[in-house]
A and B are shown apart, each in its own frame.
Chain A
Amino acid sequence: MSNNSNAALLEFVLRLGDNNLILGHRLSEWCSNGPFLEEDIALSNIALDYLGQTRILYTYAGTLEGGKTEDFYAYERFEHEFTNALITELPNGDYAHSIARQLYYSVFADLLLTELMKSKDATLSGYAAKAIKETAYHLRHATDWTLRLGDGTEESHQRMQKAIDDLFMYTGDMFATTEKEKSLVAAGIAPDVPALKAAWTKKVESVLKEATLTMPDAATWQMQGSRTNRHTEHIGYIIAEMQYVTRAYPGNKW
Protein backbone atom coordinates (compact mmCIF):
# COMPACT_ATOMS: atom_id res chain seq x y z
CA MET A 1 0.00 0.00 0.00
CA SER A 2 1.33 3.46 -0.87
CA ASN A 3 2.10 6.02 1.81
CA ASN A 4 -0.83 8.17 0.75
CA SER A 5 -3.45 5.47 0.99
CA ASN A 6 -1.95 4.29 4.27
CA ALA A 7 -2.27 7.82 5.68
CA ALA A 8 -5.87 7.98 4.47
CA LEU A 9 -6.71 4.66 6.07
CA LEU A 10 -5.09 5.70 9.33
CA GLU A 11 -7.08 8.95 9.38
CA PHE A 12 -10.33 7.08 8.77
CA VAL A 13 -9.63 4.40 11.40
CA LEU A 14 -8.80 7.09 13.98
CA ARG A 15 -12.00 8.99 13.12
CA LEU A 16 -14.01 5.84 13.90
CA GLY A 17 -11.98 5.11 17.01
CA ASP A 18 -12.11 8.67 18.35
CA ASN A 19 -15.90 8.80 17.99
CA ASN A 20 -16.18 5.64 20.05
CA LEU A 21 -13.66 6.62 22.70
CA ILE A 22 -15.00 10.08 23.39
CA LEU A 23 -18.66 9.08 23.38
CA GLY A 24 -17.84 6.06 25.52
CA HIS A 25 -16.00 8.28 27.98
CA ARG A 26 -18.95 10.68 28.18
CA LEU A 27 -21.40 7.83 28.76
CA SER A 28 -19.17 6.34 31.44
CA GLU A 29 -19.76 9.55 33.42
CA TRP A 30 -23.31 8.26 33.96
CA CYS A 31 -21.91 5.30 35.92
CA SER A 32 -23.32 5.69 39.46
CA ASN A 33 -25.21 8.83 38.33
CA GLY A 34 -27.97 7.21 36.26
CA PRO A 35 -31.61 8.16 36.88
CA PHE A 36 -32.19 4.66 38.28
CA LEU A 37 -30.23 1.46 38.65
CA GLU A 38 -31.18 -0.27 35.39
CA GLU A 39 -30.36 2.81 33.33
CA ASP A 40 -27.11 3.28 35.19
CA ILE A 41 -26.17 -0.25 34.14
CA ALA A 42 -27.46 0.22 30.59
CA LEU A 43 -25.47 3.40 29.93
CA SER A 44 -22.35 1.90 31.49
CA ASN A 45 -22.75 -1.21 29.33
CA ILE A 46 -23.07 0.91 26.20
CA ALA A 47 -19.97 2.86 27.26
CA LEU A 48 -18.14 -0.45 27.60
CA ASP A 49 -19.18 -1.50 24.09
CA TYR A 50 -17.79 1.76 22.71
CA LEU A 51 -14.56 1.30 24.62
CA GLY A 52 -14.16 -2.24 23.29
CA GLN A 53 -14.80 -1.03 19.75
CA THR A 54 -12.22 1.71 20.26
CA ARG A 55 -9.60 -0.83 21.28
CA ILE A 56 -10.14 -2.82 18.08
CA LEU A 57 -9.73 0.33 15.97
CA TYR A 58 -6.76 1.80 17.87
CA THR A 59 -4.98 -1.55 17.75
CA TYR A 60 -5.50 -1.57 13.99
CA ALA A 61 -4.25 2.04 13.74
CA GLY A 62 -1.14 0.94 15.63
CA THR A 63 -0.37 -1.72 13.06
CA LEU A 64 -0.82 0.82 10.26
CA GLU A 65 1.70 3.11 11.93
CA GLY A 66 4.13 0.32 12.66
CA GLY A 67 4.17 -0.53 16.30
CA LYS A 68 2.22 2.14 18.16
CA THR A 69 -0.01 0.78 20.90
CA GLU A 70 -3.71 1.42 21.46
CA ASP A 71 -2.76 3.37 24.60
CA PHE A 72 -0.76 5.85 22.54
CA TYR A 73 -3.87 7.05 20.71
CA ALA A 74 -5.93 7.44 23.86
CA TYR A 75 -3.33 8.85 26.21
CA GLU A 76 -0.63 10.61 24.25
CA ARG A 77 -2.45 12.82 21.79
CA PHE A 78 -3.60 16.39 22.32
CA GLU A 79 -7.00 17.95 21.67
CA HIS A 80 -6.41 18.94 18.04
CA GLU A 81 -5.20 15.42 17.21
CA PHE A 82 -8.56 13.89 18.13
CA THR A 83 -10.96 13.70 15.21
CA ASN A 84 -14.18 12.70 16.97
CA ALA A 85 -17.46 14.22 15.83
CA LEU A 86 -18.27 17.29 17.95
CA ILE A 87 -21.53 15.82 19.23
CA THR A 88 -19.66 13.04 21.04
CA GLU A 89 -17.65 15.44 23.22
CA LEU A 90 -20.51 17.63 24.46
CA PRO A 91 -21.28 17.36 28.16
CA ASN A 92 -24.02 14.87 29.02
CA GLY A 93 -26.57 17.49 30.03
CA ASP A 94 -29.72 16.09 31.54
CA TYR A 95 -30.85 12.54 30.81
CA ALA A 96 -32.95 13.69 27.84
CA HIS A 97 -29.84 15.25 26.27
CA SER A 98 -27.89 12.02 26.63
CA ILE A 99 -30.77 10.08 25.07
CA ALA A 100 -31.11 12.58 22.20
CA ARG A 101 -27.40 12.22 21.48
CA GLN A 102 -27.67 8.40 21.64
CA LEU A 103 -30.53 8.53 19.17
CA TYR A 104 -28.72 10.83 16.73
CA TYR A 105 -25.46 8.92 17.03
CA SER A 106 -26.83 5.35 17.05
CA VAL A 107 -28.88 5.92 13.89
CA PHE A 108 -25.70 7.30 12.29
CA ALA A 109 -23.52 4.42 13.54
CA ASP A 110 -26.01 1.80 12.39
CA LEU A 111 -26.04 3.23 8.84
CA LEU A 112 -22.27 3.67 8.77
CA LEU A 113 -21.55 0.13 9.98
CA THR A 114 -24.06 -1.39 7.55
CA GLU A 115 -22.01 0.13 4.72
CA LEU A 116 -18.66 -0.58 6.37
CA MET A 117 -19.50 -4.30 6.45
CA LYS A 118 -19.00 -4.21 2.68
CA SER A 119 -15.51 -2.67 2.98
CA LYS A 120 -12.71 -4.25 0.95
CA ASP A 121 -10.53 -3.89 4.05
CA ALA A 122 -10.99 -7.18 5.93
CA THR A 123 -10.22 -5.70 9.36
CA LEU A 124 -12.77 -2.93 8.88
CA SER A 125 -15.49 -5.22 7.54
CA GLY A 126 -14.83 -7.66 10.40
CA TYR A 127 -15.00 -4.80 12.89
CA ALA A 128 -18.27 -3.55 11.39
CA ALA A 129 -19.89 -7.00 11.49
CA LYS A 130 -19.05 -7.22 15.18
CA ALA A 131 -19.94 -3.64 16.15
CA ILE A 132 -23.27 -3.53 14.34
CA LYS A 133 -24.70 -6.19 16.62
CA GLU A 134 -23.91 -4.04 19.63
CA THR A 135 -25.18 -0.92 17.87
CA ALA A 136 -28.53 -2.61 17.23
CA TYR A 137 -28.99 -2.75 21.01
CA HIS A 138 -27.85 0.86 21.44
CA LEU A 139 -30.28 2.04 18.81
CA ARG A 140 -33.11 0.13 20.36
CA HIS A 141 -32.28 1.59 23.77
CA ALA A 142 -32.20 5.17 22.43
CA THR A 143 -35.40 4.65 20.44
CA ASP A 144 -37.30 3.17 23.40
CA TRP A 145 -36.35 6.07 25.64
CA THR A 146 -37.08 8.72 23.04
CA LEU A 147 -40.58 7.24 22.71
CA ARG A 148 -41.02 6.98 26.44
CA LEU A 149 -39.90 10.54 27.19
CA GLY A 150 -41.42 12.17 24.10
CA ASP A 151 -44.76 10.46 24.48
CA GLY A 152 -44.66 10.60 28.29
CA THR A 153 -45.64 13.44 30.59
CA GLU A 154 -45.83 17.09 29.63
CA GLU A 155 -42.56 17.70 31.45
CA SER A 156 -40.69 14.76 29.83
CA HIS A 157 -42.03 15.72 26.39
CA GLN A 158 -40.88 19.30 26.73
CA ARG A 159 -37.41 18.31 27.98
CA MET A 160 -36.95 15.67 25.27
CA GLN A 161 -37.95 18.19 22.60
CA LYS A 162 -35.50 20.72 24.02
CA ALA A 163 -32.68 18.15 23.94
CA ILE A 164 -33.50 17.20 20.33
CA ASP A 165 -33.50 20.89 19.37
CA ASP A 166 -30.34 21.79 21.32
CA LEU A 167 -28.22 19.03 19.81
CA PHE A 168 -29.44 19.24 16.23
CA MET A 169 -26.84 21.86 15.23
CA TYR A 170 -24.08 19.33 15.99
CA THR A 171 -25.47 16.50 13.86
CA GLY A 172 -24.21 17.76 10.48
CA ASP A 173 -20.61 17.41 11.64
CA MET A 174 -21.05 13.63 11.97
CA PHE A 175 -21.31 13.47 8.19
CA ALA A 176 -18.25 15.61 7.46
CA THR A 177 -15.56 14.05 5.31
CA THR A 178 -12.05 14.84 4.04
CA GLU A 179 -10.17 14.60 0.76
CA LYS A 180 -8.24 11.60 2.07
CA GLU A 181 -11.43 9.85 3.02
CA LYS A 182 -12.88 10.40 -0.44
CA SER A 183 -9.95 8.42 -1.88
CA LEU A 184 -10.91 5.51 0.40
CA VAL A 185 -14.51 5.70 -0.78
CA ALA A 186 -13.30 5.40 -4.36
CA ALA A 187 -11.21 2.37 -3.38
CA GLY A 188 -14.21 0.64 -1.74
CA ILE A 189 -12.65 0.81 1.72
CA ALA A 190 -14.69 3.53 3.42
CA PRO A 191 -18.40 4.23 2.98
CA ASP A 192 -19.53 7.52 1.50
CA VAL A 193 -20.45 9.09 4.84
CA PRO A 194 -22.11 12.33 3.58
CA ALA A 195 -24.40 10.14 1.45
CA LEU A 196 -25.82 8.56 4.62
CA LYS A 197 -27.49 11.84 5.60
CA ALA A 198 -30.79 11.25 3.76
CA ALA A 199 -31.37 7.83 5.33
CA TRP A 200 -30.38 9.24 8.72
CA THR A 201 -32.90 12.09 8.46
CA LYS A 202 -35.65 9.70 7.44
CA LYS A 203 -35.02 7.33 10.32
CA VAL A 204 -34.67 10.05 12.98
CA GLU A 205 -37.80 11.73 11.67
CA SER A 206 -39.81 8.52 11.96
CA VAL A 207 -38.73 7.92 15.56
CA LEU A 208 -39.46 11.53 16.54
CA LYS A 209 -42.86 11.41 14.90
CA GLU A 210 -43.81 8.27 16.79
CA ALA A 211 -42.59 9.96 19.98
CA THR A 212 -44.89 12.96 19.24
CA LEU A 213 -41.78 15.15 18.87
CA THR A 214 -40.96 17.64 16.14
CA MET A 215 -37.98 17.20 13.83
CA PRO A 216 -35.82 20.34 13.93
CA ASP A 217 -35.70 22.51 10.82
CA ALA A 218 -33.31 21.00 8.26
CA ALA A 219 -32.03 24.53 7.53
CA THR A 220 -30.74 24.95 11.11
CA TRP A 221 -27.17 26.32 11.13
CA GLN A 222 -24.69 23.49 11.64
CA MET A 223 -21.50 23.65 13.66
CA GLN A 224 -18.55 22.07 11.83
CA GLY A 225 -14.95 21.45 12.78
CA SER A 226 -14.10 17.89 13.73
CA ARG A 227 -12.43 17.10 10.39
CA THR A 228 -10.37 20.31 10.41
CA ASN A 229 -8.92 19.82 13.90
CA ARG A 230 -11.31 22.25 15.53
CA HIS A 231 -13.28 21.25 18.58
CA THR A 232 -15.66 22.68 21.11
CA GLU A 233 -14.10 23.82 24.39
CA HIS A 234 -15.26 20.59 26.02
CA ILE A 235 -12.69 18.22 24.50
CA GLY A 236 -9.85 19.57 26.65
CA TYR A 237 -11.66 18.77 29.88
CA ILE A 238 -12.34 15.19 28.82
CA ILE A 239 -8.76 14.62 27.78
CA ALA A 240 -7.38 16.26 30.90
CA GLU A 241 -9.29 13.80 33.04
CA MET A 242 -8.65 10.80 30.82
CA GLN A 243 -4.92 11.41 30.43
CA TYR A 244 -4.03 12.76 33.86
CA VAL A 245 -2.61 9.56 35.33
CA THR A 246 -0.58 8.53 32.29
CA ARG A 247 0.87 12.03 31.99
CA ALA A 248 1.67 12.21 35.69
CA TYR A 249 3.41 8.82 35.60
CA PRO A 250 4.71 8.41 32.03
CA GLY A 251 5.39 4.83 30.99
CA ASN A 252 4.19 3.43 34.30
CA LYS A 253 2.71 -0.07 34.25
CA TRP A 254 0.17 -1.49 36.66
Chain B
Amino acid sequence: METLNPLVWNGKEPELWNIANEVVDPEIPVLTVVDMGIVRDVTREGDNITVKITPTYSGCPAMEMISTDIKAAFHRKGFNNVSIEFVLSPAWTTDWISDYAKDKLEKYGIAPPPRSTADKNAILGKPKEVRCPQCKSLNTVMISNFGSTACKALWKCEDCKEPFDYFKCI
Protein backbone atom coordinates (compact mmCIF):
# COMPACT_ATOMS: atom_id res chain seq x y z
CA MET B 1 0.00 0.00 0.00
CA GLU B 2 1.22 3.45 -0.91
CA THR B 3 1.83 6.10 1.72
CA LEU B 4 -0.93 8.69 2.04
CA ASN B 5 0.31 12.18 1.26
CA PRO B 6 0.70 13.76 4.73
CA LEU B 7 0.25 17.25 3.26
CA VAL B 8 -3.37 16.60 2.28
CA TRP B 9 -4.66 13.64 4.31
CA ASN B 10 -6.57 14.85 7.36
CA GLY B 11 -6.06 11.59 9.28
CA LYS B 12 -9.70 10.54 8.87
CA GLU B 13 -11.29 7.67 6.86
CA PRO B 14 -8.00 5.92 5.98
CA GLU B 15 -9.89 3.15 4.14
CA LEU B 16 -11.56 5.67 1.79
CA TRP B 17 -8.42 7.75 1.31
CA ASN B 18 -6.52 4.60 0.40
CA ILE B 19 -9.08 3.82 -2.29
CA ALA B 20 -8.68 7.33 -3.73
CA ASN B 21 -4.93 6.83 -3.51
CA GLU B 22 -5.15 3.97 -6.02
CA VAL B 23 -6.09 6.41 -8.77
CA VAL B 24 -3.13 7.71 -10.73
CA ASP B 25 -2.88 11.02 -12.55
CA PRO B 26 -3.59 10.27 -16.23
CA GLU B 27 -0.75 12.54 -17.40
CA ILE B 28 1.76 11.54 -14.73
CA PRO B 29 0.95 7.90 -13.98
CA VAL B 30 3.76 7.63 -11.42
CA LEU B 31 1.81 9.82 -8.98
CA THR B 32 -1.61 9.23 -7.50
CA VAL B 33 -4.20 11.98 -7.32
CA VAL B 34 -3.61 12.04 -3.55
CA ASP B 35 0.17 12.44 -4.05
CA MET B 36 -0.61 15.38 -6.33
CA GLY B 37 -2.83 17.08 -3.77
CA ILE B 38 -5.74 16.99 -6.22
CA VAL B 39 -7.92 15.11 -3.73
CA ARG B 40 -8.86 17.60 -1.00
CA ASP B 41 -11.27 15.60 1.13
CA VAL B 42 -13.06 12.27 1.29
CA THR B 43 -16.15 12.03 3.47
CA ARG B 44 -18.83 9.45 4.15
CA GLU B 45 -22.44 9.93 5.12
CA GLY B 46 -24.20 6.58 5.38
CA ASP B 47 -23.59 4.88 2.03
CA ASN B 48 -22.78 8.13 0.28
CA ILE B 49 -19.17 9.00 -0.40
CA THR B 50 -18.14 12.52 -1.41
CA VAL B 51 -14.71 13.17 -2.88
CA LYS B 52 -13.61 16.77 -3.22
CA ILE B 53 -11.05 17.47 -5.92
CA THR B 54 -9.35 20.63 -7.14
CA PRO B 55 -7.74 21.27 -10.54
CA THR B 56 -3.99 21.94 -10.79
CA TYR B 57 -4.64 24.48 -13.55
CA SER B 58 -8.06 25.94 -14.40
CA GLY B 59 -8.02 24.40 -17.85
CA CYS B 60 -6.62 21.01 -16.85
CA PRO B 61 -8.30 18.63 -19.32
CA ALA B 62 -7.62 15.62 -17.09
CA MET B 63 -10.25 16.54 -14.49
CA GLU B 64 -13.07 14.63 -16.23
CA MET B 65 -10.98 11.51 -16.47
CA ILE B 66 -9.81 11.83 -12.87
CA SER B 67 -13.45 12.09 -11.71
CA THR B 68 -14.40 8.99 -13.68
CA ASP B 69 -11.38 7.05 -12.42
CA ILE B 70 -12.11 7.93 -8.78
CA LYS B 71 -15.72 6.79 -9.13
CA ALA B 72 -14.58 3.56 -10.76
CA ALA B 73 -12.07 2.88 -7.97
CA PHE B 74 -14.80 3.23 -5.35
CA HIS B 75 -17.24 1.11 -7.37
CA ARG B 76 -14.67 -1.68 -7.49
CA LYS B 77 -14.61 -1.66 -3.68
CA GLY B 78 -18.40 -1.80 -3.49
CA PHE B 79 -19.17 1.86 -2.94
CA ASN B 80 -21.77 2.75 -5.51
CA ASN B 81 -22.93 6.17 -4.36
CA VAL B 82 -19.94 8.36 -5.03
CA SER B 83 -20.20 12.01 -5.89
CA ILE B 84 -17.33 14.20 -6.99
CA GLU B 85 -17.28 17.81 -5.93
CA PHE B 86 -15.02 20.41 -7.54
CA VAL B 87 -13.49 22.95 -5.20
CA LEU B 88 -11.38 25.95 -6.16
CA SER B 89 -10.37 27.34 -2.85
CA PRO B 90 -7.72 27.21 -1.54
CA ALA B 91 -6.03 27.30 -4.94
CA TRP B 92 -3.88 24.29 -5.73
CA THR B 93 -0.18 24.72 -5.16
CA THR B 94 2.89 22.62 -5.87
CA ASP B 95 3.56 22.86 -2.11
CA TRP B 96 0.98 20.06 -1.70
CA ILE B 97 3.17 17.56 -3.54
CA SER B 98 5.01 15.66 -0.82
CA ASP B 99 8.77 15.18 -0.82
CA TYR B 100 8.17 11.47 -1.29
CA ALA B 101 6.14 12.22 -4.43
CA LYS B 102 8.81 14.64 -5.66
CA ASP B 103 11.34 11.82 -5.50
CA LYS B 104 8.99 9.62 -7.52
CA LEU B 105 8.63 12.40 -10.11
CA GLU B 106 12.38 12.74 -10.53
CA LYS B 107 12.84 8.98 -10.91
CA TYR B 108 10.14 9.07 -13.58
CA GLY B 109 12.11 11.69 -15.53
CA ILE B 110 10.28 14.88 -14.56
CA ALA B 111 12.24 17.46 -12.58
CA PRO B 112 10.13 18.14 -9.46
CA PRO B 113 9.13 21.65 -8.36
CA PRO B 114 11.29 23.31 -5.73
CA ARG B 115 10.50 22.71 -2.10
CA SER B 116 8.44 25.83 -1.52
CA THR B 117 6.66 28.52 -3.50
CA ALA B 118 7.73 30.88 -0.74
CA ASP B 119 10.82 31.30 -2.88
CA LYS B 120 9.60 34.08 -5.17
CA ASN B 121 12.23 33.29 -7.77
CA ALA B 122 10.61 29.92 -8.19
CA ILE B 123 7.19 31.38 -8.98
CA LEU B 124 8.75 33.68 -11.54
CA GLY B 125 10.17 30.68 -13.33
CA LYS B 126 13.69 31.23 -12.09
CA PRO B 127 14.17 28.46 -9.58
CA LYS B 128 17.53 28.45 -7.86
CA GLU B 129 18.40 25.17 -9.43
CA VAL B 130 16.63 22.64 -11.59
CA ARG B 131 18.38 19.31 -11.59
CA CYS B 132 18.44 17.21 -14.74
CA PRO B 133 16.42 14.09 -13.86
CA GLN B 134 18.63 12.03 -16.20
CA CYS B 135 22.24 12.87 -15.26
CA LYS B 136 21.56 15.03 -12.14
CA SER B 137 23.56 17.95 -13.53
CA LEU B 138 22.58 21.44 -12.37
CA ASN B 139 23.85 22.91 -15.64
CA THR B 140 20.35 23.25 -17.12
CA VAL B 141 18.42 25.93 -19.00
CA MET B 142 14.77 26.63 -19.64
CA ILE B 143 13.58 26.26 -23.23
CA SER B 144 9.99 27.33 -22.62
CA ASN B 145 7.80 28.05 -19.61
CA PHE B 146 5.03 26.09 -21.31
CA GLY B 147 5.40 22.39 -21.96
CA SER B 148 3.59 19.19 -22.80
CA THR B 149 0.87 19.81 -20.21
CA ALA B 150 -0.35 22.92 -18.39
CA CYS B 151 1.62 21.99 -15.28
CA LYS B 152 5.01 21.50 -16.94
CA ALA B 153 7.76 23.62 -18.47
CA LEU B 154 10.35 22.47 -20.98
CA TRP B 155 14.02 22.45 -19.96
CA LYS B 156 17.21 21.00 -21.32
CA CYS B 157 20.42 19.77 -19.78
CA GLU B 158 23.61 21.40 -21.07
CA ASP B 159 25.69 18.41 -19.95
CA CYS B 160 23.83 15.34 -21.19
CA LYS B 161 21.98 17.42 -23.83
CA GLU B 162 18.66 15.77 -23.01
CA PRO B 163 15.48 17.86 -22.95
CA PHE B 164 13.24 17.20 -19.95
CA ASP B 165 9.96 18.26 -18.35
CA TYR B 166 10.06 20.41 -15.25
CA PHE B 167 7.02 20.50 -12.98
CA LYS B 168 6.13 24.19 -12.79
CA CYS B 169 5.94 25.84 -9.44
CA ILE B 170 2.63 27.57 -8.72
Contact = CB atoms under 8 A, between A and B. Distances in A.
A235 to B, nearest CB: 22
Interface string A108-124: 00000000000000110
B61 interface: yes
A224 interface: no
A49 B59 contact: yes
A80 interface: no
Contact of A136 (B93, B124, B143, B150): B124
B125 A140 contact: yes
B144 A38 contact: yes
Q: Is the interface of B mostly helix, strand, loop or mixed?
A: loop
A131 B144 contact: no
B37 interface: no
Given A49-B57, A50-B59, A140-B124, A127 B88 contact: yes
A134 B145 contact: no
A45 B146 CA distance: 7
A169 interface: no
B163 to A, nearest CB: 10
B168 A137 contact: yes
A175 to B, nearest CB: 24
Contact of A130 (B91, B123, B124, B144): B91
Interface in A96-151: 122-123, 125-127, 129-131, 133-134, 136-137, 140-141
Given A46-B146, A136-B123, A52 B60 contact: yes
Interface string B42-66: 0000000000000101111100000
Contacts of A19: none
Nearest to A129: B91
Interface string A161-175: 000000000000000
A8 interface: no
A59 to B, nearest CB: 9
A140 B125 CA distance: 9
B58 A38 contact: no
8 closest A-B pairs by beta carbon, nearest first, are A52-B59, A52-B58, A126-B89, A42-B146, A48-B59, A38-B144, A130-B91, A45-B146
Given A48-B61, A49-B150, A125-B89, 18 more contacts: A38-B144, A38-B146, A41-B147, A42-B144, A45-B150, A49-B59, A51-B58, A52-B55, A52-B57, A52-B59, A129-B91, A130-B58, A133-B93, A137-B125, A137-B145, A137-B168, A140-B145, A141-B146
